[in-house]
Amino acid sequence: MTAADSMTTLRRRTSEKWRTHPDDVLPMFVAEMDFSLAPSISAALHAAIENGDTGYVDPHDLGTAQAFASYASDVWGWPAQPERMGYATDVSVVIVESLRRLIEPGDGVIINPPIYPPFFDLVPEAGGTVVEVPLSDDGEQYSLDLDGIDRALAAGARAVLLCNPHNPVGLVHSHETLTELSRVVAHHGAVVVSDEIHAPLTHHGATFTPYLTVSDAARAHGIAAESGSKAFNLAGLKSALFVAESDRMTDLIRGLPEEVTFRAGLLGLMATREGFTHGREWLNDTITTIESNFTLLEQQLAEKLPQVHVRRPKSTYLAWLDMRDLGWGDDPADYALRHAKVALSDGISFGKEGKGFARMNLACAPETIVEAIDRLC
């Protein structure tokens, strides 16, 4: 299992997670890990610094694309093609630059709240209009509302911005669901941009399905945003990939301005390549740690705070906490910060479906989880 760094070491970090709040607050909000980098990544970055290898990316170097393709083939059975990929700074850029070329100004783009908050902003940045089709919830599990998506497309929406796996609920969409989604989208002549940044963090025993593998229709109308930034804690190094499976989407990638590639971080591409190539054992151990932390969270809540409910996700290190029974109002994260000095992500920012919810980051030491629940009691 992967161990978290000491709190003393973590407090020396200068990222958002460790600079937003004073030291008496437990930061469990933004999606950053408290773990040290995978050894292979750390070694590669140190070697690059020693060599002064900190210049611009080489847009013709397919090394990182090949590393991702090898990982996708070995882990997901997806024979992704490096020559159909392109580089960018992060998945948000992949999303925006793809949508800009796939929709007309004002076109509707479907998102499925509760959803990663930037989705609400990325769609208008790309020139589109947000169309909300919330996840279905039967009280036991979440799922895509395929009928709702069908109705929204029939009403004029032209794209689906898919979160696969889904942040914040950790839903790993099934092959059957994604196949049906591709049929619905194809029927309406629409497109899909699939954000798959959390895919490498799929838990043991669960099966992640890349959207571009489910059907010929998906390959024709879909483009994927891939990255190692969540899996290997590389967000600040700025690298992500456009991935296509059709000539249409490959042409989209090839037609991007050169600056989209040049803005990617060379160190980020190096780190991503090392992670997908030599960091797989570290990632496997990290997922084991995350699963153990979810078990601990469940135990702590059952013993100390049974009014808070959580459904075990199948991906990510993010726990979606239903805190409505506490009576802390629509924004329990605000109450938690003010009264318990525990920083959580507020559920409202994920959409109106997030009222009374908060998101907790479990990529941390077990002791941090215990202390957080003790403070919240």
Q: Name the residue with tokens 């996840």.
A: 135
Instruction: Quote the CA–CA distance of 70 and 76 in Å, as a whole number.
Output: 10
Spell out the per-residue pLDDT of the chain, length 377, in tens.
Answer: 899 999 999 999 999 999 999 999 999 999 999 999 999 999 999 999 999 999 999 999 999 999 999 999 999 999 999 999 999 999 999 999 999 999 999 999 999 999 999 999 999 999 999 999 999 999 999 999 999 999 999 999 999 999 999 999 999 999 999 999 999 999 999 999 999 999 999 999 999 999 999 999 999 999 999 999 999 999 999 999 999 999 999 999 999 999 999 999 999 999 999 999 999 999 999 999 999 999 999 999 999 999 999 999 999 999 999 999 999 999 999 999 999 999 999 999 999 999 999 999 999 999 999 999 999 99
Residue 156 is assigned to a structural domain of this protein:
yes
Q: Quick check: 351 and 279 in contact, CB under 8 A?
A: no
Four-residue CA torsion sign, 144, 145, 149, 150? positive
Buried b (16+ CB within 10 A) or exposed e, 121-143: ebbeebebebbbbbbeeeeeebe
| CATH number of the domain that residue 294 is part of | 3.90.1150.10
Same domain, 172 and 287: no
Instruction: Quote the CA–CA distance of 347 and 117 in Å, as a whole number.
Output: 9
Residue 201 is assigned to a structural domain of this protein:
yes
Q: Name the residue with tokens 């978290």.
A: 4
Same domain, 21 and 76: no
Domain-terminating residue out of 256, 278, 300: 278
Same domain, 189 and 100: yes
Same domain, 48 and 181: yes
Same domain, 273 and 287: no
Residue 1 is assigned to a structural domain of this protein:
no
Mean pLDDT of the chain: 98
108 Rama class: left (phi>0) / alpha (psi -120 to 50) / beta: beta
Instruction: Quote the CA–CA distance of 7 and 220 in Å, as a whole number.
Output: 48
| Upstream peptide bond of 165 is cis (omega within 30 degrees of 0) | yes
Domain-terminating residue out of 259, 278, 297: 278
Same domain, 148 and 99: yes
End-to-end CA distance of the chain: 29
Both tokens of 363, joined, read: 């990529």
CB atoms within 10 A of CB 239: 26
- Return all residues near 303 (Cβ < 8 A) that are at least 6 apart: none
pLDDT of 323 reads 98
| 150-183: pLDDT as tens digits | 999 999 999 999 999 999 999 999 999 999 999 9
Same domain, 73 and 146: yes
Q: Quick check: 239 and 86 in contact, CB under 8 A?
A: no
Question: Does pTM surpass 0.85?
Answer: yes
Same domain, 55 and 34: no
Instruction: Quote the CA–CA distance of 324 and 305 in Å, as a whole number.
Output: 12
Domain-terminating residue out of 240, 263, 278: 278
Same domain, 260 and 349: no
Same domain, 298 and 364: yes
CA distances (Å), origin 2, targets 200, 280, 295, 306: 16, 12, 16, 28
Same domain, 145 and 179: yes
Strands 240-243 and 85-88, by their bridges, are antiparallel
What is the number of structural domains in the chain? 2
Residue 117 is assigned to a structural domain of this protein:
yes
Same domain, 24 and 124: no
| CATH number of the domain that residue 80 is part of | 3.40.640.10
| 88-118: pLDDT as tens digits | 999 999 999 999 999 999 999 999 999 999 9
Alpha helices in the chain (DSSP H): 7-10, 16-19, 39-50, 63-76, 91-102, 119-125, 146-154, 175-187, 216-221, 247-254, 258-262, 266-278, 280-304, 332-340, 366-376
Q: Alpha carbon 243 to chain centroid distance? A: 16
**Structural domain harbouring 12:** 7-38+279-376
| 200-237: pLDDT as tens digits | 999 999 999 999 999 999 999 999 999 999 999 999 99
356 Rama class: left (phi>0) / alpha (psi -120 to 50) / beta: left
Residue 2 is assigned to a structural domain of this protein:
no
Alpha helices in 20-62 (DSSP H): 39-50
Instruction: Quote the CA–CA distance of 227 and 215 in Å, as a whole number.
Output: 22
